[in-house]
Structure 1
Amino acid sequence: MIVKVIPSQKLKGQITLPASKSYSIRAFIIAACGGVSTIVNSSDCDDAKVSMRVAKALGSRIVRVDDNSWQVSADINKRLPPKIDVGESGTALRFLLPLASFRGDSVFIEGKGTLQGRPNMYLTQVLRDMGANIRGKSNNESIPIRIRNGYIHTGRINIDASLSSQFISALIIACPRLLEDTTLSLKGKKIVSSDYITMTMQVLKKCGIKIVKDNNRKYIIPGNQKFKGLNDFLVPSDYGLAAFVMAAAVLIDSNVALQGAFCDELIQADGQIIPLIKRMGAEFVKTSKYIKIKGPFVLKGGDFNLKDCPDLVPIMSILALFAKGRTRLYGIKHARVKESDRISDLRKELLKIGAKVEEKNDELIIYPQDEYKKDCLLDPHNDHRLAMSFSVLGLKLGVCVKNMECCSKSYPKFLTDIKSLGAKFTKSPK
């Protein structure tokens, strides 16, 4: 589906933000590790649905209690099915690999789309070192991945933390169930997306799991722990998805309210969008129940370290196009191995509108221009965050966006929500 986004003169109204994709995935997969859990306000995006499917494959019985909550009853002794489909969810895949290796069953793990080329070699090699019989496709160990009969054991584990935090989260979910203690040491020049590790630890803590963080690079995980289940775990609203609507409201004449559950107790990596757009010059009112923005604002560029929030790279790049002065987004090498290469692919598409963008190994530098080309056809490379970012660009400039259906990975109602605020667009087949 190609969507032609028409420049908007005014955005006005209120929307209810979706629940956090990241917390929804963590809640369902951690709930599958033991006990009986109740999860409230889960996301209905594709990746969250995959996490439910993975939880069921791990033996859980999932029942919808009402329109807004699910009960998950874990059964850690149930055998794995011979095949598990993780769709396009990299998080669900990485979380599954140690848990499946722990079970001693043989299983074939498959997926589709952009997940087919994403690397897993750091995690699979660690699992082999722990005793797992696991092998992926090609040197980067992408899907499909086969796990054969075998058990993983504990001890001292070293893993490179410079590519993805999901590998670390995956291990700290699985290791508490091993018989002996585990010491997990993080290697590499820098630890990326560390807030996502904290998110995982916060959900584990609510299940009664104890993990000692010795320093930023070492975790001591006691073995033989029992998961007690999540008690009415309320999934907070997703700051990463709020970022797209907030960016639109910042750029365009607007009076917009975003309703949701903003729980400061539960950290979100993408919550950095709040201080980031403040630094650029935007103002808004935020409470635990809503964010209100009256735009537009005169934005200023600057240097922004997105090491811990790489999902914000696309939308920050769009804001940078209309800021005064150049913007440098750095610490983002790991953004290359998301649903797309969020450095190279993003630059390639922005060049189509006449943007001046420099690409380096781990950064983007954007120089705003006086004018941009209108109605260009942009390809999000099957990346939901690129698609939504280009749509925000369209509200300011007017563009056409290919494959908008990929937004269902995280925000199925994105077009519906921005339309309710006054956005106009037309749809046509591919």
Structure 2
Amino acid sequence: MNIKLSSRSNNLSGNLKITGSKSESNRLLILQALYPELKIENLSDSDDTRYLKAALESEEETIDIHHAGTAMRFLTAYFSCQVGREVVLTGSKRMQERPIKLLVDALRSLGAEIAYVKEEGYPPLRIKGKEIRESEVHVQANISSQYISALMLIAPGLASGLEIHLKGQITSAPYLLMTLEIMHNAGLAGTLEDNVVSIEPVSKLAPTTLQVESDWSSASYFYSLAAVSETAELKLSNYRRSSLQGDSCLAEIYRKFGVETIFEDNSISLKKTSGKKPRKLIEDLRNSPDIAQTIAVTCLALGVECELNGLHTLKIKETDRLVALKTEMEKFGADVEISNDSLRLYSCKRLNQDVSVATYNDHRMAMAFAPLALKVSLGIEDAGVVSKSYPSFWEDLKQLGLSVEEI
């Protein structure tokens, strides 16, 4: 499905309920599989979460998680310790191009039995579940946080728990802290001190119900819309001031664009309070790389120069997001430079009209470029890709008065 986006008004108002956090939901689903006494409310309705849930409920030998990267990492660890279970874990063509060697190496060092079905270092994987008795593993700290979280989540179910020694500077630390906090809320014990994650073994939990907070990454697109608008009053439900999600840094970043965040009971209100904007925005997004695309497009829409750093993990996402951003922003007339871990956008004074944005099987490419509709009409190719994390996104934009026309 390709769509055309435009807007008759730059004044936005509305109340929206955002789906539960994919990051929180997927962590809780792994814990629930290990401890069925755990109950979950406000589970994400994203494709990634649905694929993970279906995989955990499946009794098939071959399990296809399509584009769901989190599911691939978490399930690799989970099936490794399911004694007597043998599975082939596979995914889409792009998933089979995304590296998983560092996680497999870590699990093998613990005694897991994992073989590559095709190319060394990449899915599909053949996993023979067995009891893991080793209790210590060493991994680089600058790898994807999902590798480390995958090890953390299975750790309490191992005979002796697990110590994960992290070498170097930690990437996406808030996601590790999120994993720890979710585990604590479920009744599990663990710490992160001096680059060592320690998780205690637990055989059974007390019955517990946990509610998933709405997704801050999904909220980012409404922060962007508010920043690009003339006026905006948007209420987004099921958010907490003390969020576990690293992307909650949005509130502070978008204050620089005149967007204030008002925390209320179980919700946030975004209000465009002024037309201010930075002359140049410089941000280190090492701890929140998923909002890089949103911020870059906000700057493009407002003619703001930006320098975004700490983006090395973007190259192994659904697509190489740095290359994709450069390619698509240049269609609008932007001047963009990228490196292995950074993006620099020079201010673009005039945007080209009716550009067709390619999305590269990447949900965030589709949603990040949508706020440009407040400035120019544009097309979004393969718009249905948003179902990966936010299936109702285009309907929610219609609620705010944007024109979403299928072409």
TM range (shorter): over 0.9
What does 1:27-426 correspond to in 2, within 5 Å?
Answer: 27-57=28-58, 81-104=60-83, 105-136=85-116, 141-148=121-128, 150-188=130-168, 190-215=169-194, 217-223=195-201, 225-228=202-205, 231-287=208-264, 288-294=266-272, 297-300=275-278, 301-323=280-302, 325-426=304-405
Question: SS state of the match for residue 179, structure 1?
Answer: coil
Amino acid at match of 2:53: M
Q: Contact conserved, 1:282 with 1:299, CA < 8 A, in 2?
A: no
Shift of the alpha carbon at 1:88? Answer: 1.8
**More displaced 10-residue stretch of structure 1: 200-209 or 120-129:** 200-209
* Cα distance in 2 for residues equivalent to 1:207 and 1:28: 12
Q: CA deviation at 1:139?
A: 5.4
Render the CA deviation track for 1:135-182: whole Å, top value 9, x for unaligned. 235656322111135443323211123230001100011122111242
Secondary structure, counterpart of 2:220 in structure 1: helix
1:226, distance to aligned residue in structure 2 (A): 2.3
- State the distance in 2 between where 1:241 and 1:261 align: 12
Checking the alignment, whether the CA contact within 8 Å between 1:313 and 1:342 is kept in structure 2 is: no
TM-score with structure 2 setting the length: 0.93
Decide whether aligned partners of structure 1 residues 230 and 321 sit closer, same or farther in structure 2, where only a CA change above 3 A counts.
farther
Cα deviation, 1:62-87, whole Å, max 9, x if unaligned, reads xxxxxxxxxxxxxxxxxx64222223
> What do residues 325-375 of structure 1 show as CA deviations (whole Å, max 9, x unaligned)?
521100111111111111111111111111011111210011111112111
**Partners in 2 of 1:137 and 1:316 — Cα distance?**
39
Contact 2:241–2:263 under 8 Å retained in 1: no
Which position in structure 2 is the counterpart of 1:67? none
- Residue 14 of structure 1 and its aligned partner are, at CA, apart by 2.0
Q: Is the 8 A contact 1:236 1:260 kept in 2?
A: no
Counterpart AA for 1:125: D
User: One-letter code of the match for 1:257?
Assistant: L
Relative to the length of structure 1, the TM-score reads 0.88
In structure 2, give the amino acid aligned to 1:51: L
CA distance in 2 between counterparts of 1:281 and 1:140 reads 49
**Contact 2:118–2:124 (CA under 8 A) maintained in structure 1:** no
Evaluate the alpha carbon distance shift between residue 140 and residue 276 of structure 1 in structure 2; reply closer, same or farther with a 3 A threshold: farther
- Distance, in Å, in 1 between the alignment partners of 2:339 and 2:208 is 46
SS of 1:143's partner is coil
Contact persistence 1:299–1:324 (CA under 8 A) = no
The alignment covers a number of residue pairs equal to 403
Letter paired with 1:299: K
Unaligned runs of 5+ residues in structure 2 are: none
Task: Assess, with a 3 A threshold, how the Cα gap between structure 1 residues 253 and 56 changes in structure 2: closer, same or farther.
Answer: same
Tell me: CA distance 1:273–1:8, structure 2 relative to 1, closer, same or farther (3 Å).
farther
Q: Please tell me the root mean square deviation across aligned C-alpha atoms, in Å.
A: 2.0
Task: Give the C-alpha shift of residue 205 in structure 1.
Answer: 1.2
User: 1:31 corresponds to which letter in structure 2?
Assistant: Q
Instruction: Give percent identity, aligned residues only.
Output: 28
Give the direction of change, closer, same or farther, for the CA distance of 1:26–1:187 in structure 2 (3 Å limit).
Answer: same
For residue 171 of structure 2, give the secondary structure of its aligned residue in structure 1.
coil
CA drift of 1:97 comes to: 1.2
For 2:306 and 2:24, the matched residues in 1 are separated by 30
Assess if the C-alpha contact under 8 Å between 2:160 and 2:200 holds in 1: yes
| Conserved? CA contact 1:207–1:227, under 8 Å | no
Residues 279 and 135 (structure 1), Cα distance of their counterparts in 2 relative to 1, 3 Å cut: farther
